[in-house]
Amino acid sequence: MEMTYLPARQLYREWAATYDDPTNPLIEAEGKVLAGIIGDVEGKRVLDLGCGTGRHAILLARAGALVTGVDFSDEMLAVGRENAAGLDVTFINGELGAVPLQEPFDLVLCSLVLSHVPSLLPAMKEMSRLTRPGGRIIITDLRTDHWFRKTKKIRKFGSYLTDAYKHTLVDYQAAFEASSVNLEQLTKIYFDDAIVARRRWFFYLKYIAVGYAFEISKPAAS
Ligand SMILES: C[S@@+](CC[C@H](N)C(=O)[O-])C[C@H]1O[C@@H](n2cnc3c(N)ncnc32)[C@H](O)[C@@H]1O
């Protein structure tokens, strides 16, 4: 298959129409882990940063949350609006490092986005700013510290190529500290039996994590 390089925003413009096709095993594995850690969101204000087509925003709204989704791709947001028709989800165009919102949220989610940005800090500071004291942040992503040899690489996303960036656990911890939030739990994401059964070469990914899920707290005001 011929692969085309595009900067991330253009990539998602092209990918938006088929992003929801159920072919990506990382998305499936991440969804299962997130379902186990998200907790009760009934009546909670939730910000889904880098919400894409609303995969999580929709589940959260169905579970009773008041959800705002932010993404820099108008095309992903347009699909999200269609997917979420009739649900309590507001979709807004915005950059991870400069989110055009003020209100604090009970929960901020940033799912499978951060390998697109060269530095964690601008996004992390925004997540902290937008979380109420005592609130939670959940971040998931590909385990780039294991899978990337170099700090920056060209990675396959769907049928496109774009820049992707390695973030080590030390980088994450430094960004958490600089944003005055605390890591509470780190869960590794593996492919389970159902995913592994689909392709022979997936089998070792039962044993080597493909992603991380970070559960983070923002200290209550003293
Ligand atoms: C792999 S998709 C994940 C979408 C969704 N969170 C999910 O898990 O299905 C990454 C999303 O992040 C968005 N994104 C990437 N870089 C961004 C940035 N700097 N600011 C805002 N959104 C960004 C893309 O447009 C895309 O919708």
CATH of the domain at 14: 3.40.50.150
Number of folded domains that form the chain: 1
Which pLDDT score is estimated for 222? 60
Evaluate whether 22 touches 55 at the Cβ level (below 8 Å): no
147 within 8 A of 208, measured Cβ to Cβ: no
Task: Give distance in angstroms: CA of 222 to centre of ligand 1.
Answer: 34
Q: Which two tokens stand for residue 124?
A: 């992390």
CA torsion sign, 197 to 198 to 203 to 206? negative
pLDDT in tens, 81-104: 999 999 989 999 999 999 999 999
Q: Residue 209 half-sphere exposure, CB side, CA atoms within 13 Å?
A: 16
CA 43 to ligand 1 center in whole angstroms: 25
Residue 160 CA, ligand 1 centroid: distance in Å = 15
CA distance 81 to 89: 8
Ligand 1 in reach of 126 Cβ (< 6 A):
no
d(CA 219, CA 137): 11
Stated pTM of the model: 0.96
pLDDT tens-digit profile of 11-22? 999 999 999 987
Element (H, E) at 69: strand 66-71
Ligand 1 atom nearest the C-alpha of 94 is 21
* Nearest-angstrom CA–CA distance, 129 and 188: 26
Q: Does the C-beta of 41 come closer than 6 Å to ligand 1?
A: no
> Is the beta carbon of 51 within 6 A of some atom in ligand 1?
yes
Full domain range(s) for residue 41: 4-217
Indicate whether 222 belongs to any domain: no
Percent of the chain whose predicted confidence (pLDDT) is above 70: 99
